[in-house]
Amino acid sequence: MRLNQYIASCGVCSRREADRLVEAGQVLVDGVPAQPGMRLQGTETVTVRGKKLQSPAAPVVVAWYKPAGVTCTARDPHAGKTISDVFRYPVRLTYAGRLDRDSEGLLLMTNDGPLIDAMMRGANGHEKEYIVRVKKRISDGDLHRLSKGIRLRELDQTTRPCAVERLGEKTFSIVLTQGLNRQIRRMCRAVGHEVVFLKRIRVLNISLGSLKTGQQRRIEGAELEELYRLAMPEKRGGL
């Protein structure tokens, strides 16, 4: 097994982030700094940031209502409040897909590295639904422009077409299938609007439902099977 895959399977982070940790010299294999791309035989001791990794535990997936003001990172000296400051669970879990600091709503937390990796890959086109409120009335024309795709010059990318539905004079829902940095805020700014409230209410088949800020619920049974089927078709729910 590749080292980055093993780190991800332990629920530490995605494979891409594991590669960054290796390059930063924060991963040791049998006490020696790891090398990018190395493979494990299965008998090695792996430590990340000084902590010995344990064999992957049974998959746990939790739906959590992330409060606004919480940064999606385990540790950051420049972040006022991080996930590790406010999220608690008996098993160590990591976020599967980010939600920016100023936004609130559904965040999936898990110890399943392959699921984290699948959810972090924008190319997989996973649906994520949001409720958005802007500062002033938004026209039907602007909503139509958002749905057709917006050129974001600062990222040198054009957003994918998406489903947009008006909910009020200043409020609408939007379903994205990609995850560019602060995408909705950038899209709204491109059509002359400032976002004042942003909440994610669904990721694939998992909905925020009646959860209140800071609350969580474990995903189990048929709902979990469906999540794996949608996020990782090759696994076909084999938990």
Report percent pLDDT > 70 for the chain. Answer: 94
pLDDT digits (tens, 9 = 90+) for 88-108: 988 888 899 889 999 999 999
Give the separation between CA 172 and CA 160, rounded to whole angstroms. Answer: 17
Nearest Cα to Cα of residue 53 among 77, 26, 73: 26
Phi, psi (5° rounding) for residue 128?
-135, 125
Do 34 and 22 form a contact (C-beta atoms < 8 A)? yes
Give the separation between CA 97 and CA 179, rounded to whole angstroms. Answer: 9
Whether the per-residue pLDDT at 19 is higher than 80: the answer is yes
Give the separation between CA 197 and CA 172, rounded to whole angstroms. Answer: 11
Higher per-residue pLDDT: 53 or 58? 53
Whether the per-residue pLDDT at 203 is higher than 90: the answer is yes
Whether the per-residue pLDDT at 78 is higher than 80: the answer is no
Higher per-residue pLDDT: 31 or 9? 31
pLDDT category of residue 235 using cuts at 50, 70 and 90:
low
Higher per-residue pLDDT: 9 or 7? 7
Whether the per-residue pLDDT at 153 is higher than 90: the answer is yes
Tokens coding 23: 């390059």
Domains and CATH numbers, the chain: 3-52 (3.10.290.10), 61-122+207-231 (3.30.70.580), 127-203 (3.30.70.1560)
Looking at 19, 100, 112, 117, which residue is catalytic? Answer: 100
Residue 102 annotated in active site: no
Give the separation between CA 158 and CA 146, rounded to whole angstroms. Answer: 11
Q: Are strands 128-134 and 151-152 parallel, antiparallel or unpaired?
A: unpaired
- Residues ≥6 apart with Cβ < 8 Å to 63: 106, 107, 108, 109, 206, 208, 209, 211, 216, 217, 218, 219
Whether the per-residue pLDDT at 114 is higher than 80: the answer is yes
Higher per-residue pLDDT: 170 or 13? 170
Task: Tell me if residue 66 falls in helix, strand or coil.
Answer: strand
pLDDT category of residue 236 using cuts at 50, 70 and 90:
very low
pTM of the model: 0.77
pLDDT digits (tens, 9 = 90+) for 176-195: 999 899 999 999 999 999 99
